[in-house]
Structure formats: C-alpha cells, structure tokens
Chains A and B, each alone.
Chain A
Amino acid sequence: MGKILIRFLVTAGMGFCLLQLSQAHHSFIAVDPNIERLMTGTVTQWSFNNPHSWLYLDVENEDGTTTLWSFEGSAPISLLGKRITGDTFQPGDRITFMYCPLKDGRSGGHLGWAQLGDGSFINPSDGGCAGDEETIARWKEWLEQGFTSKAEAEAAGAVL
C-alpha cells in the first residue's frame, strides 16, 4: 500500500512537472504521455520549423524493411533556449531517443529526450512527452538495465 501511494505521488508530481513546462499552440491529447518507449533510427529530416519542430527518421523493422516515423518536438525558439538548433540532428545521423506514441497507433508521437552521437542527452520535448533532466536520469538507469520502455521497467519493478 505504501509503495502504491509513493508511486502515485511521484507519478502525479512528475506529471505536474511535465505540465508546468508545456507550452504549445495545440493540445497534446493525441499522444499518451504515460507510455514511454525507446527507439533508434536514422534521421531523414529535422524540420526545425514553426510552429513546432518535427523529427523524421527511418526505423528498421524486424523484417529488414524500414518505416518513416514522425515525432513532434518543441517550437524552434523554445529549443534554441536549450541550445538545440536546426543543425542538431542532420540527415544520416543515427540517434536513440525516447518518445510517447500517438494513441491511434500510427508511426509517430512526441519526442521525449534524445541521445546524440557523442553520447550526450538533450531535451527537445514539448508538453506531450517528458524529456526533462529527471526523466533523462531515470532513463539512464533503465538503459543500463536494458529496458526499452517504461512498461518493461514497470513490469520489472524498476519504475518509480
């Protein structure tokens, strides 16, 4: 019971933190912020455009084919405040990132954090998915343990 209460409080608190940081010209209702998944792909286009940035990547499927995935990030001016620019992701870059999927199951979602080629983590997210320092710290531990989603971490009891 105690653990459940703590989980609730922490989840609620983090949700509050996430929402505090959100600012956008649209609602995030199409995305499930509670689902966090890991993905690796090759950058096709970094659309550092207003009103929102979008990162498009080719992601390999198990059968060897590739699918173009689309992920929304924050507005350019907001990203510039985090020192993320129109050159941060370049075509051909292979990056690993966390995202929150579209509820309708299409190949897209919102960016959480992203890991660049030099190993550093950045936060291109907006209000649709958490990419802040606390989320990155949590995921660093999960990455060390080999988790590829929040659900996996939860199933293993490693989630908050």
Chain B
Amino acid sequence: MKNYKILPFGLGACLILLFASSIQAQGSNENEELVVVPPPMRFETSSAHYAYLLDQAGGGTQHTVATVPQWPGLWDRGGNTISKTFLDDFVGSSTQEGGRVRTGILTPPYEQTFQELRQEMREEGQQKYDRLTHCESPGYPRFLLEPYTREFINLPHQSWQLNDLMNENRRIYIGQEHINVYGTHSWLGDSVGFWDGDRLIAHTVDILPVDYFRGLPLTSNQFESVEVWEMKIFEDGSQRLEVQVTFYDEHSLIEPIHAVYAYKPATVLMEIGSRIRQWECETSSNSYLTADGETNFLLPGEPGYKDARGATLFPHLPGQSRDPVYETGLEN
C-alpha cells in the first residue's frame, strides 16, 4: 500500500511554485523587482518632506479632467517591501512565523511589543488574534498592504482610493490644506496632495494607532506619511501602480522608514465583471476573541451566532430575507 509516487510530485510542484515566485522579480514586466526610492535627503518631519516636494514641483501640476492621470479598472496587491523593513532572514507573508526582528528600527517599547508578537507566532505558528476579527478598520498604513480589490479614481481636486476590504474609502484632497474638525484622529487620517506631472504626492496625518499588517508592528497616533504614486508601464505593455512611501512616527520609529507598495491589474476579476460591493462585518462575521486570547468561530445554533443570510429585525414581514435569491436563512 505504500505509495511514494506522489512524493517527488508534491515536492517538485512546491519547489516550482517557490521558484516561480522568486523569478517573478526579474524581467521588464509587471513582475520586475520592487526598488525602494528614498527621498533625496533626511527630513525631520513629514510636513517638511511634503513641503520640499511641493516646492520642487513648483507648487504642483494643475490638472484638468482631461489631463489628470487615470488608473482605471480593478487592482490587486502587487508586492511590497515593508515586511523586510522589520524582519531579517524573512521570506513569504508576515502572517507566518519566521525571520528575526530587525533591531534599531522601532523604538524600545514598540520593538519589545513586536518581539513579543513574533515570539507568539513562533510558539503558535501564527498570530493568535487580529484586531480586524472584531471588524476594526484596517486603517492607515495597513490600507496600503491589505489584499483584495481596489479602485483608483483621480479627479482634478480629489483622488479616491477604494478598497473592497471593509470598504475603506480614502480621499486625497488635491491642492488643499489639512483640516481636522472632529477633534480626534481617524482610521485613514487626513490626506492632502498634489500632482507632479503624472506622479501623485500625498501627505497623510491625524491617523489612529493601528498596525502595518497582521504579524507586523504597531503604529502610534503620531504616525504620518509622505507618498509618491506613479504608474509604471513596462516593455511588454504591462502596468504596475507603485507608491513610494516614507513613514514618520515619533513614538514607534527611531528614524523615518522607506518602503514601496505595488498594485497590479486584477485581470480575472475584470474579466468576470466583478464589482466592489458595500459590506459590513456586523451582520456576517462569526469570528471572535476567546477568553484565552485566541480566535474562534460561532456556529449555527450557538448563542450570538449571526446568520449572514438571515432576516432583518422584522422577519414577520414579507421580503425581509437577506437571501432573496435562494432563501436559505439558517435561523428562519
């Protein structure tokens, strides 16, 4: 009954997959290796950095509807360098264990917290709980790294960056000053920007403390950024939207850090006609934080279970099912 025939197949297939992912970094196409382009000098603050770029651009390009760069269609993640900023000897996703915390990047309390997180991941194989599980917004800078579909809509006076995940909608106000009339910070902060030809430069402040991603460090409520967005067109005609970022955070970072994130056309999704839909987590998520600090799931019939395809608060009325096509409500 012993059958080792599949052994070389499985190993080979996996090695091919790994090899393929490594060679993606080569060639003059959308898979070309991502290169971080740091700013030309060190700036004390993000505001000084942004002001310098604005001055260099002569106050910015005044685009019209006809001339403002368009980045149409649906986009998905296309790589980033942020994980390797914080981890040495690291391969793959930050959600997996592995790598060593790079010292001298984070301030002592933030580095200590990050060390503890990675230790937990070494012991458990993964992070035991992610704040998004209870429907928190990813927020910024996690917005840049989150998976799933995005749209980029550029107008002369605003740029909108939309993500399917949690339906985060980011607005960059072109040629305007920062405003905060809420008396607090927000998940995505306040973003202003300008165009330098075909490049979009953005400055973001007033952000709530979040994280870079699951398995990566936390950020503070003083986290700020300067971004340079640019569409890259490669020799084979393929496209990659890149954003060079510098992150500033007096509480968590010893020095500003630089990274690049990229996005590629979501070709299959566009082919099948996928469209971003509005959604929320309250009526549909059954994952929760246990008393042991771990993630678990409620199943049908258990107290607190939510039937995403059930009825509204008025099930006695006709037409109140949230599953009008198949009518499969589990608790109706």
Contacts and interface: CB of A to CB of B under 8 A. Distances in A.
B326 A45 contact: yes
Nearest to B267: A81
Contact of A81 (B1, B128, B269, B287): B269
A54 B95 contact: no
B234 interface: no
Contacts of B279: 49-51
Contacts of A157: 1-4
A16 B323 CA distance: 37
Most buried by B among A81, A82, A127, A145: A81
Contact of B92 (A19, A50, A72, A102): A19
Contacts of A56: 300, 330
A156 B14 contact: no
Contacts of A52: 285, 287
Contacts of B183: none
B130 A22 contact: no
A80 B13 contact: no
A143 interface: no
A91 B329 CA distance: 11
B274 interface: yes
Contacts of A25: 130, 132-133, 165, 285, 287
B299 A156 contact: no
A9 interface: yes
A55 to B, nearest CB: 11
Contacts of A70: 297, 299-300
A145 B21 CA distance: 33
Contact of A19 (B7, B96, B124, B296): B96
A10 B125 CA distance: 17
Contacts of A60: none
B11 interface: yes
B153 interface: no
B268 A27 contact: no
Contact of A138 (B10, B17, B125, B129): B10
Contacts of A83: 268, 272
B309 interface: yes
B269 to A, nearest CB: 6
B96 A29 contact: no
A3 B11 CA distance: 13
Interface of B is mostly: loop
Contacts of B149: 77
Interface in B289-332: 294-297, 299-301, 308-309, 323, 325-326, 328-330
A22 B269 CA distance: 19
Contacts of B165: 25, 51, 75
Interface string A1-43: 0010010011001101101101101111110000000000000
A80 B269 contact: yes
B297 A14 contact: no
A77 B93 contact: no
B268 A22 contact: no
B11 A9 contact: yes
Interface string B266-282: 10110010101101010
A113 to B, nearest CB: 15
Interface of A: 3, 6, 9-10, 13-14, 16-17, 19-20, 22-23, 25-30, 44-47, 49-52, 54, 56, 68, 70, 72, 75, 77-78, 80-83, 85-86, 90-91, 102, 104, 106-108, 127, 133-134, 137-138, 141, 145, 156-158, 160
Given A25-B287, A27-B129, A30-B297, 4 more contacts: A26-B132, A29-B126, A44-B330, A102-B297
Closest A-B pairs by Cβ, 8 of them: A157-B2, A45-B328, A19-B96, A49-B308, A26-B133, A25-B132, A50-B279, A158-B3
25 contacts: A13-B14, A13-B15, A14-B10, A17-B17, A22-B93, A22-B95, A25-B132, A26-B129, A26-B287, A27-B214, A30-B295, A30-B296, A45-B309, A50-B279, A51-B165, A77-B164, A77-B276, A83-B272, A91-B328, A107-B299, A108-B299, A156-B2, A157-B3, A157-B4, A160-B11
